[in-house]
Amino acid sequence: MLSQFQAVGQALFTQGLVFSQGGNLSIKLGEHLVITHRGSTLGFIQEGDLVETGVSKNNRATPLASKELEIHRCIYKNTSASAVVHAHPPYAVALSFTEEEIVPCDLEGQILLSRVPVLSTDAMAKLEDLAGEIARLLNEYRVVLVRGHGSFAVSQLLEEAYYYTSALEQSCRLLYLLKTLKVVPG
Ligand SMILES: [Zn+2]
């Protein structure tokens, strides 16, 4: 299990989809979940960087979990997902300011993602307050983008949720370049 987290964390980090201590990963195991430690650096995950706690119940380790634990919990309670990848992909976050939804114009993005909704927030809202809305959208979409913040991707496997995150960033990079060239896709 550690190697799964390490492989995905390292891939996100080397591709610039998370920076420093940003982003978090989790998987669900029955009534429990394993999530990255508060403040851990995804590019360099060690055994002590994983925290096991309940999907609904707290335990001694709960305070050590990522500060976005409640969003991961809400997703597991309200969807069939078994893995969540939260990242801060820069092109996707940039486009989240100007778009209501991301519609990939590349084939891979279209096949994998179809479209990605952008959840807008008012500046005062805490990310935690959006948990219900994020979970609701993730019943319908593989990835949701939170305006000015980052992406939440779900799947049965951590690798797959990473793959969707990477596809989103790839599509957004292309959309960004096309906008710069003033090409209207489609
Ligand atoms: Zn974040």
User: Does a structural domain hold residue 88?
Assistant: yes
Question: Beta strand 116-119 with 50-54: parallel, antiparallel or unpaired?
Answer: unpaired
Q: What's the gap in Å between 83 CA and the centre of ligand 1?
A: 16
In a domain, 186, yes or no: no
pTM: 0.94
Instruction: Assess if residue 185 is contained within a domain.
Output: no
Confirm whether 138 is domain-assigned.
yes
CATH number at residue 93: 3.40.225.10
pLDDT, residue 164, reads 98
148: left (phi over 0), alpha (psi -120 to 50) or beta: left
Cα separation, 73 vs 41, in Å, equals 21
Query: The domain containing residue 142 runs over which residues?
Result: 2-180
User: 3: CA distance to ligand 1 center in Å?
Assistant: 22
Number of structural domains the chain divides into: 1
Compute the distance from residue 89 Cα to the ligand 1 centre, in Å. 10
52 within some domain: yes
- Residue spans of the chain under pLDDT 50: none
146 C-alpha vs ligand 1 centroid, how far in Å? 9
